[in-house]
């Protein structure tokens, strides 16, 4: 078992804010953002074994892959 602690900064695009608030309200972080981030992290981290995650190069690869996927939206 590997525990991971991450911090993600995000913003809601202005053109989508009204639609998100009307449909989801303020729970959009709990309902959409957190599950989406967890999914990306899980998919990328499971590409490595736990020993590899202690290597700086591996962590950088994983971080880069997660950054790329999160910036697609």
pLDDT (mean) for 27-52: 91
CA distance 58 to 20: 36
At residue 8 the predicted structure's pLDDT band, cuts being 50, 70 and 90, is: confident
Query: Is residue 16 exposed (0-12), middle (13-18) or buried (19+ Cβ within 10 Å)?
Result: exposed
Residue 11 has pLDDT above 80, yes or no: yes
| pLDDT tens digits, one per residue of 50-71 | 889 889 999 999 999 999 999 8
Between 16 and 36, the more confident residue is 36
- What is the SS3 assignment for 71? coil
- For residue 48, give the DSSP letter: S
Give me the pLDDT at residue 6, please.
87
């Amino acid at each position: 078992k590997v525990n991971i602690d991450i911090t993600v900064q995000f913003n809601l695009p202005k053109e989508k804010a009204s639609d998100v608030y009307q449909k989801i309200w303020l729970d959009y972080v709990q309902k959409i953002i957190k599950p989406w981030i967890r999914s990306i992290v899980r998919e990328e981290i499971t590409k490595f074994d736990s020993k590899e995650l202690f290597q700086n190069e591996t962590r950088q690869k994983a971080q880069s892959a997660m950054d790329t996927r999160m910036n697609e939206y």
